[in-house]
Each structure stands twice: as structure tokens, then as C-alpha cells.
Amino acid sequence: MSHKRKILRGSASNLARVALSALLSLVLPPLLVHRLQPAEYGAWVLILQISGYINLLELGLQTAIAKFVAEYDASGDGQAAARILSSSFAILCASALVGAAAIGVIAWQVPQIFHQMPTHLYLGVRVGILLIGWSTAFSLPFGAFLAAFTGLQRYGFPTALAMLNRALSAAGIAGLLLAHSNLIWLAFWLAIVNVTTALGQLFGWMKFARKSVGFSFRLVERASVLQLVQYGGVLSIWSIAGLFISGLDMVIVGHYDFKNTAYFGIATSATNFMVLLISSLFGPLLPAVSSLQGGGATERIGKIVINSTRYCALLLCLIGLPLGLGAYPLLGLWVGREYAIRSELFLQLLVFGNALRQLGYPYSVAVIATGKQHLATLAGVAEAVVNIAVSIYLVQRIGSAGVAIGTIVGAFVSVGLHLYVSMRWTQSTISISRRSFVIEGLLRPLSCVIPALLVLPLLRVSGPARVNFLVILACALMTVGVAWFSGLTSKERLDFKAALHRLVY
């Protein structure tokens, strides 16, 4: 099977997962905001955010497993792949213990961290953090088995398991909300689903991947541990940078401006759909590019990066423009007028900032796949420092909107440094013309925002003002037209028509 078909198959599997996540994301937030008070919903968002920090202790090992398993599978070295999987599991067990202890400390310090939170919520937040945080820590090592599927470029079981996890989580939460349960019961259900999913990952490996990638504690060896630590060490820096870029946003808002936590959380949920879609569609680039190494394919990898960036920019425009321009009416239909009024500005700022930073996502995946992530670390670290500094400075002066502005400023720093520094340093493994990257990968697809800019003065998109839907419809049609003729090549248009014809007939 060709690399293009493998990437497309992986993207299709991830797209099915995203489709279910999007469906559940449309259903759950309205139920949450109508069944919980704004303070309670804000507390729930913080519970999920803090518990998710455990995943940072994954230390980039799932990415490392996918990369090395892809390489060893391509070369037929199953024993080396088994040593990688076994050593990764052992490292993640140690990380899980550290994470469990950290969660205990954070839960203890909840009143100090969120001093603006109503005191009657402290118990629920503490117990919720412990339940979801500890179950996430338990699940951490088992993620190694799922990463092996990514390395083998087998996406069926991971997709099915992820969809089952989301369906069970959503169904349980919906049922508990309808039964008027509190935050503790919601957290208890998610903890059960986390543990069950972790055991399901082990079962899936035993049934579908055991013959391709073995596992045994006897295969844990020093050389493999050092190999993983060396590769994952820089990715850990990327993960920590990611924490400062977006992972601390909710905590900063909760600490400095708790009254807006629920509204900022709704805007974040809407924005996360866009980010999740991009990461799911372009994540399969990692094993595909990894398997290309060693054959002098630097120019081919560079071409893949430019084309992937072009597709990424097109998707960001086609998703981000409706979210940004139609923020108020969309939020109004989704979660109601009060949340729409309070969340509109947050959503517009977050959509712009996250769309800008996601423009560099395909390049970042290629850098990781080629093992040169240390050469592109400067961009991530600089973005993190700028983001967190601007966010903390502005949130104390203009409120939660300052945190979203911090995301925008950091995104400009990240894209600029990748373009002017990282791409120059990674030229030996990703042969890419920065001029072609800018013109073909960025400017060409971004031209589809021109119609929106032209009609922007006619659109009254802020506050509860009336929206001229005819203008929006005309703008949408022009945007799609420009994306079709400018963002795609003639061959891609023919391929798309052929694929659509096969799908229909």
C-alpha cells in the first residue's frame, strides 16, 4: 500500500473518531450548562483540565513508540519493536506513580489555587480531581499498546475503542445529569470509563497486534530505555511548552477571573473541535514519514509537508471562518443567549489564535517523525514563554480576554520562528523551500479568506445584533469557490471529483 493511501486511511479512521466527538460535543455542553450553574460548570471544566495534566507524563513515549515501531516494522525487526514497547510500558508505570502523587497535592491545594471559587464547590472539585486524575494515571502505561497500532498503521481497533470510550462517557454523563447528580458522581463515572478503556487497550493488543509487536518485562533493557528517553526528552519539552501554550489557560482564568470560567470553557470547547480535527487528520503523517527515512527521501518529505500544510490551511479557513464570523448566532443556538453573549469574544479570539498556530502542525509532525525535534524546540519554548507572560499580564488588566490574546501573540512567535529558524536547521532531513512553503503552503490556501474580509464591514457579528444571513451565505459560497479553484490544483480537483463519483455511484 502506498504512503499516500496509508495516510489517507489513517486520516479517515481519525475522521470517524472526530465525527463522533463532534456529535457528542454538540449534545453534552448544552445539557451541562442547563443542568449546572455557571460556577458548577466552571468547576467541572477545571476538574477535567487539571486531570488531563497527567497525560503530560506520557513524556512523548507514545509518539516514540509509533515512530520506532513504524521503522522496525518496515525493516522486519520485530524483536527491536518488542523491546521498545516493553521498555516504554516500564517507564510509563514510573510516570504514573509520579502523576498520582501530583494529583493528590493539587487536590489538597484547591482552595489556594482557586480562591475565587465558591467554598461549597471545594469538596466536589477535590474528589473529582482525585477520581479522574488517578484513573488517568492508571491508564497512562496502557497507552503504549495503543501506540503500537499507530506504528503498524492499523487504525481500526484504536478508532473503535476511542469511539466506544466517548460514547460511554457521554451516555453516562447525560444520564447522571438528567438524574440531577453532582460533580462527584460525574467524575466517578469518567473514572470507571478510563479504567475500562485502559484494560481494553491491553486486550486489543493481545488480540490484534501481539504477533507483530511483542511485550514482556524481560525485554526491558537499558539501551531501549536510553533510546526512548533521548528521543522523548525533547518531546517532553514540547509537551511542557504545550501546557504553557494552552493547557494553563483555564487554570489562569479560574485563578484570576473565576466568574468567567464557564464562558471561557464553552469557547474553548468549540475551538478544541477545530484543533482535534486538524491533529486527527494530519497525525498519520508521523508513521508514514518515519517509514520514508533512510532512502534519501528528504525532498519527498518536503513536498509532503508543503502539500499537507496547504490542506491544513484550507481546512482551518473553512472551519475557522464560520466559527469566528458566526460566533454569536452559533453559540446562541448551541448553549443559549446568556452564554453566547459572554463567550462570543473569547471564541473569536481563540479561533484566530489556534488557527494561526495550527498552520505549523504538519511541519511539526514531520520534524518529530524524522527525529529532529531538538532543532525545532526553540519555536515551542518561545511561544510558551510569550503566551504565558502575555496571558498573566493581560488577564489582570482586561480579564479573561487577555488569556485568549496571549494565544494569538504566542502563535505569531511560533510560526515566525519555524519559518525563519527551524526550517533552516532541519533542511538536511526535510528539504523544503521556505519560499514555496509560504506561497504554496500558506498564501495560496489562505486566499479563501478574501471574500470574508471584503464583506466584513457588512457583517454585524458582535453582540446580539441581527445578522444578515444572505450576506453570510454569499460570503460562504465565495469562500468555497476560492478554496476550490485557488487552494486545490487541477489534478486534485479531478481526483476529488472521481472520489466523489465513486462514493455516490
Evaluate whether residue 143 is within a structural domain: yes
Determine the pLDDT at residue 461.
Answer: 46
- Read off the C-alpha cell for 329: 448566532
pLDDT value at residue 428: 85
pLDDT above 90 covers a percentage of the chain that reads 36
Does residue 108 sit within a domain?
A: yes
How many residues can be counted in the chain?
Answer: 505
Which grid coordinates belong to 169? 462517557
Residue 278 falls within a domain, yes or no?
Answer: no
What is the structure's pLDDT at 356? Answer: 93
Give the 3-state secondary structure of residue 37.
Answer: coil
Residue 32, all three cell numbers: 451541562
- The answer to the question of residue 116 being in a domain is yes
Cβ atoms within 10 A of the Cβ of 24, count? 18
Q: What is the pLDDT of residue 9?
A: 56
Residue 161 lies in a domain: yes
- Label residue 490 by pLDDT band (50, 70, 90): confident
Say what the pLDDT of residue 465 is.
45
How many domains does the structure of the chain reveal? 1
Whether residue 5 has pLDDT greater than 60: no
**437 within a domain of the structure (yes/no):** no
| Cell 470507571 sits on residue | 192
Number of C-beta neighbours around residue 416 at 10 A: 14
Q: What is the pLDDT of residue 495?
A: 77
Residue 311 lies in a domain: no
Q: Which three cell numbers stand for residue 148?
A: 503500537
Which of the two residues, 156 and 167, has the higher pLDDT score? 167
Indicate if the pLDDT at residue 11 is higher than 50.
Answer: yes
* The pLDDT of residue 464: 44
pLDDT of 294: 55
Residue with cell 470574508: 452
Cell digits of residue 94: 514510573
Q: Which of 158, 403, 190, 151 is nearest to 290 (CA)?
A: 151
The pLDDT of residue 64 is above 70: yes
**Tens of pLDDT, residues 186-213:** 999 999 999 999 999 999 889 888 888 8
What is the per-residue pLDDT across 307-337, written as a single tens digit (0 to 9) for each?
899 999 998 988 888 888 888 888 888 888 8
Q: With bands split at pLDDT 50, 70 and 90, how would you rate the model's confidence at 462?
A: very low
CA distance 189 to 135: 11
Domain of 135, in residue numbers: 36-229
SS (H, E, C) 173-213: HHHHHHCCCCHHHHHHHHHHHHHHHHHHHHHHHHHHHCCCC
- Using one digit for the tens of pLDDT, what is the confidence trace for 451-461? 877 776 665 54
- For the cut 80, the answer to whether the pLDDT of residue 148 exceeds it is yes
Task: Give the mean pLDDT of the chain.
Answer: 84
Q: Is residue 28 part of a domain?
A: no
Q: Which residues of 291-329 are buried (b: 16+ CB within 10 A; e: fewer)?
A: bbbeeebbeebbbbbbbbbbbbbbbbbbbbbbbbbbbbb
